[in-house]
Amino acid sequence: MMMNCCGLLTANKEPVPLKSVEVELEVRAHVATVVSTLNYENKEDKPLEAVFVFPLPGDAAVCHFSAKIGQTEIVAEVKEKQKAREEYDDALSSGQQAFLLEESDQSPDIFSLSVGSLRPGESASIRLEYVTELAVQADEGLRFCLPAVLNPRYQPQGSGGSGGSNVQMTSVPASLVPYSLSFSARVSSPRPVSKVESNCPLDALQYLNTEQTQATVKLAAGHKFDRDVELLIYYKDAHQPTAVVEAGQASAKPGTLMGDPVVMLSLYPEFPQAVMSSVTSCGEFVFLLDRSGSMDGARIKSARDTLLLLLKSLPMGCYFNIYSFGSSYEHIFPKSVEYSQKTMEEALKKVEEMQANLGGTEILMPLKHIYSQPCIPSQPRQLFVFTDGEVCNTKEVINLVMKNSGSHRCFSFGIGEGASSALINGLAKEGGGHAQFITGTDRMQPKVMQSLRFALQPAVVDISVKWDLPKGVSVTALSPPITALFQGQRSLVYGQLTGKSSEAAEGCVTVKYSLAGHPSQNQVHFSLTPAEDTGLLVHRLAARTLIRSLEMEERERGREQEEGVKKKVVELSVQSGVSSAFTAFIAVNKGDGEVIQGNLVRRNVPTPRMMACRMPMMAMANSFPSCPPGMMACSMGRSVRSCPPVSESCLPKQPPRDPLLQLVSLQKASGCWVLDPALAAALGKTSEEVEKSKPASVNQEVWATILALIWLHGFKMDAQEEWELLAMKAVSWLRAQNAPCVTECVEAGNALLGFNVQKDALGL
């Protein structure tokens, strides 16, 4: 595998033919259609071939690709990948214009677009359409992300444009990106849209009807495409299960996926309260932290703070270990250890020292090592992966997680701009866990603690989906079997409906499962009458789901069966017009027959890049010819050894620690706090004040623990989701002490700290 450098372009950089990008987003409930128009112009005096490598959401289904040159529009067809590449090369060599769009062989969220032969002075407008499901976030918002940043990844040979070997990813600092972006969204839903938020400035939300179920929103003018555009869409009462039936395509044969109606169900399981309150107190918690160079600065600090909260929130009696990786990997303990005061302190000491100094992003080896460790009886394994997600071998990594999905649940966190959605969502989906994205100024802690709450839920087992349909109608499931259910988290299920029924017929789906030994079920009834005017949105998403399942299956099979599965994927992809790993979109302009004269010049169109880019040092030195050797290494989070020595006095002072983390860091593994000067300081009091206010008959640890709980409830209610689990642990510890005078303690604690927190609010 070669590493293609994403070298920064110099001041006299090659001209870029991409002029502007326009994006229109249409959201219907929790699925979206995205139309992107890329406008090119060749300002050079020779014909150009432009190659543009760009990211799309990992589960997007590209379903339309066309190019307009002058007044001529050519619509691309989906063909087997090798055939499409040959057709593209043939067209170029015979002087015709051609366009090729293909998914990377290594990662399903990277596409390359080859624009073949733009004549000098000529413009081309390329229209790309894709459909995608929107993931539900911990706070119930639906997340859409338009990736602007394609962080450099290892680019393997043989996955490129013409001939396939030389797709280079050039990337430039965002301030130099020479094209503009316009972005608008239209949202419609059966339930009112309560708000739309973004990490980029938006114009005000405009409602289109009095029920507020339809709205439009636009990106404010002047947006520099310097980061992902993230939209979070919130509906009122989002937790209702829904079903949409979409009519088949009139021109397709009945009995085929595109010819039959398809139903999309969104399920929101609600678990019995009795089961939910009995949080599990066992498990093997394995934390895997990315310490590659691009995690430097705020990212690694936030990860360290998060590990502190996680370690304090773990239940007594569980097991844990912490791995970290870059080009190599390290672990704190040779194998997972029982959680105790001693092991927790040892781990925290090592966490404090962690820096982003381990080089590249090689996640496969540590994962293999974790899976090679035998599981601990009656301690279900829960894996937490933190990464900024810039790996080339996405499919290989996800495959490994899938192979081991029977022995663990995997919770994944994409940190910062450009984290691969294919990697982060794939890890969680195949590992039966939950994925979260942490971008911009988001605090990592609330999202991670939400996932820990999921990990502490008892695992749902024996999940089955049963369809009840009228006589004469049968269903083919198009989604892989559901492997994970979490309280209030959506699961999507697609089914192809074959046969005819009476007009007002109804169907019903029952999801049965067992939770902590209790059999449970949820039901959804739905009308078989197709919805108005959904286009082929549901069919394309269903085709994409089936294509992805088959691709996973193909990687599991032997050579003979592999060919059969591949053939099935190609047929399905061509029939549905949806992209896959084995097909590509090809468009050839057979127009006026005028042959393009002159040698083709190949240009790689740079994608914007955040400064924390990872590349070999040789390439870095070439990119910064004026930079003294060793200086660059410093600013890019590389080994500090090559930096000139810095005197102590000019090192930045450590910022004071966040008061919440200060208090949390003093909690013992058992859940209690100890009465000492450090606790008094964290509470903002002197040791004398704290000692003097203690009721006489109360032991010191009970008093210290009650004070800490009052401080959390009084000062930090806005961050409750971050400390809720460790507070529950403190309350359990207090109950186990059977301490007298709890009421007196709470009153004295309120008087000392100046609050009025009720005893039952503390859970005592």
Q: Is residue 365 part of a domain?
A: yes
The predicted pLDDT at position 455 comes to: 84
Residues 224 and 133 in one domain: yes
Average pLDDT over residues 540-565: 82
Q: Is residue 387 part of a domain?
A: yes
The predicted pLDDT at position 397 comes to: 92
pLDDT at 526 over 50: yes
The predicted pLDDT at position 27 comes to: 94
Supply the range of the domain harboring residue 732: 667-753
pLDDT at 451 over 90: no
Burial 403-439 (b: 16+ CB within 10 A, else e): ebbeebbbbbbbbbbbbbbbbbbbbbbbbbbbbbbbb
What is the secondary structure of 559-628 as a DSSP string?
HHHHHHHHHHHHHHHHHHT---TTEEEEEEE-SS-PPPPS--EEEEEPEEE-S-----HHHHHHH-TTSP
Using DSSP bridges, classify how beta strands 18-28 and 319-325 pair: parallel, antiparallel or unpaired.
unpaired
Average pLDDT over residues 366-372: 95
pLDDT at 165 over 50: no
Rounded distance, CA 580 to CA 38, Å?
22
pTM: 0.75
The predicted pLDDT at position 670 comes to: 92
Higher pLDDT, 638 or 197: 197
The predicted pLDDT at position 749 comes to: 93
Q: Is residue 528 part of a domain?
A: no
Higher pLDDT, 647 or 580: 580
Residues 94 and 186 in one domain: yes
Nearest to 356 by CA among 385, 332, 325, 384: 325
Q: Which of 435, 456, 477 is the last residue of a domain?
A: 456
The predicted pLDDT at position 17 comes to: 65
Higher pLDDT, 700 or 454: 700
Q: Is residue 305 part of a domain?
A: yes
Token readout for 672 is 């209690």
User: Tokens 């006489």 identify what position?
Assistant: 696
User: Which range (543-552, 612-621, 699-708) has the least confidence?
Assistant: 612-621
Residues 305 and 232 in one domain: no
pLDDT digit string (tens) for 329-359? 999 999 999 999 999 999 999 999 999 998 8
Higher pLDDT, 149 or 585: 585
Higher pLDDT, 580 or 533: 580
User: With pLDDT > 70 as the criterion, what percentage of the chain qualifies?
Assistant: 82
The predicted pLDDT at position 348 comes to: 95
Q: Could you tell me if 749 and 708 are in contact, meaning their C-beta atoms sit under 8 angstroms apart?
A: no
Residues 190 and 62 in one domain: yes
Domain count, the chain: 3
Q: Is residue 344 part of a domain?
A: yes
715 exposed, middle or buried (CB, 10 Å; 0-12, 13-18, 19+)?
middle
The predicted pLDDT at position 633 comes to: 31
Residues 196 and 310 in one domain: no
Higher pLDDT, 157 or 195: 195
Q: Is residue 212 part of a domain?
A: yes
Residues 212 and 311 in one domain: no
Rounded distance, CA 520 to CA 457, Å?
15
Q: Which of 608, 628, 659 is the last residue of a domain?
A: 608
Q: Is residue 108 part of a domain?
A: yes
The predicted pLDDT at position 4 comes to: 30
Residues 586 and 675 in one domain: no
Average pLDDT over residues 471-496: 87
Rounded to 5°, the CA angle 694-695-701 comes to 60
Q: Is residue 639 part of a domain?
A: no
Q: What CATH number has the domain bearing residue 352? A: 3.40.50.410
In the three-class reduction of DSSP (H, G, I as helix; E, B as strand; rest coil), residue 138 is classed as coil
pLDDT digit string (tens) for 105-124? 878 888 888 888 788 888 88
pLDDT at 627 over 80: no
Token readout for 78 is 């989906």
pLDDT at 680 over 50: yes
Residues 366 and 437 in one domain: yes
Q: Which of 456, 484, 512 is the last residue of a domain?
A: 456
Q: What CATH number has the domain bearing residue 39? A: 2.60.40
Residue 615 pLDDT class (50, 70, 90 cuts) = very low
pLDDT at 700 over 70: yes
Query: Taking all residues of the chain, what is their mean pLDDT, rounded to a whole number?
Result: 81
Residue 21 pLDDT class (50, 70, 90 cuts) = confident
